[in-house]
Amino acid sequence: MANKTEPEVYTSIARLYDLLDLPFEYFRYRHIREQLWQNITGEVLDAGVGTGRNMEYYPVNARITGIDLSPAMLGRARKRQQRLNCDVRLLNMNVTALSFKAQSFDVVVSTFLFCVLDDALQLPALKELARVCRKDGEIHILEYAYSKRPLKRLIMRLWAPWVKWMYGARFDRNTEQYADAAGLELVSETCLHQDIIKLLVFRLRGK
């Protein structure tokens, strides 16, 4: 189990994922998701839809497509889709090799996907999101960052090996460093929970 890789890690924990994540979801993520999905309209890609935790917050005036590499996680998402009667198209797809045509989406949203992508996959994934985003569209990426407060940072460092082992995730991906190479510009960076969860908003460079 120590050598789990994506999506194998999520195949292993898909059935328990929502339970494992429940304390964080209830006390932290649900408020963030509500903020994240406000004022989003048009054709929208939810990249890394996971078990579908975002579905409850999808705007009624948006047409959502959700993708995920893990069939097991998508299976959980489809059950949530049926339970909520949510109008979303769910597809099994690799974010580094999307099958969509260029400029297919007005907005791309990604919640904690880049936290679990290896460093070598960060740029290819960001390039693909840029490719399928329309010229006047935006890419919204939610991810973790190490706190600048010494005690909080120490606690996160103590948690980091377990988070990496269980979820394949890291707190120091710093996805914004790949923006220029992906043809994007970072237009805003906002902390949505203390200084450890940040929302990165990108646009195509020069737009």
The CATH number linked to 174 is: 3.40.50.150
Is 57 or 10 the better-scoring residue by pLDDT?
57
For residue 2, tell me if it sits in a domain.
no
Whole-number Å distance between alpha carbons of 69 and 74: 8
pLDDT at position 7 over 60: no
Band (pLDDT 50/70/90 cuts) for residue 25 is confident
Give the pLDDT score at 167.
82
Q: How many domains does the chain have?
A: 1
d(CA 206, CA 75): 39
Whole-number pLDDT of residue 207: 62
Q: Does residue 63 belong to any structural domain of this protein?
A: yes
Give residue 43's region: left, alpha or beta (phi > 0; psi -120 to 50). beta
The bridge status of strand 62-68 relative to strand 197-204 is unpaired
Average pLDDT score, the chain: 91
Partner residues linked to 42 by β-bridges: 62
For residue range 166-190, what is the model confidence (pLDDT) as tens digits? 788 899 999 999 999 999 999 999 9
| Domain span at 142 | 8-204
Task: Please determine, for residue 16, whether its predicted confidence score (pLDDT) is greater than 80.
Answer: no
CA nearest to 174, candidates 123, 107, 98 = 123
> How far apart are alpha carbons 20 and 13 in whole angstroms?
9
pLDDT at 13 over 90: no
Is the pLDDT at 152 greater than 90? The verdict is: yes
Percent above pLDDT 70 for the chain: 90
In a domain, 92, yes or no: yes
The pTM is what?
Answer: 0.90
Instruction: Identify the band that residue 10 occupies on the pLDDT scale cut at 50, 70 and 90.
Output: low
Model pLDDT, residue 23: 73
Q: Is residue 3 part of a domain?
A: no
Task: State how far the Cα of 17 lies from the Cα of 24, in Å rounded to an integer.
Answer: 11
Nearest one of 100, 110, 126 to 184, comparing CA atoms: 126
pLDDT digits (tens, 9 = 90+) for 27-74: 788 999 999 999 899 999 999 999 999 999 999 999 999 999 999 999
From residue 141, alpha-carbon distances to 5, 186, 200, 206 in Å are 22, 11, 5, 19
Is residue 42, in this structure, part of any structural domain at all?
yes
Query: Is 1 a domain residue?
Result: no
At residue 58, the pLDDT reads: 97
Q: Which residue has the higher pLDDT, 199 or 23?
A: 199
Closest listed residue to residue 93, CA positions, set 46, 36, 126, 141: 46
Q: Give the per-residue pLDDT at 9.
A: 65
The verdict on residue 148 lying in a domain is yes
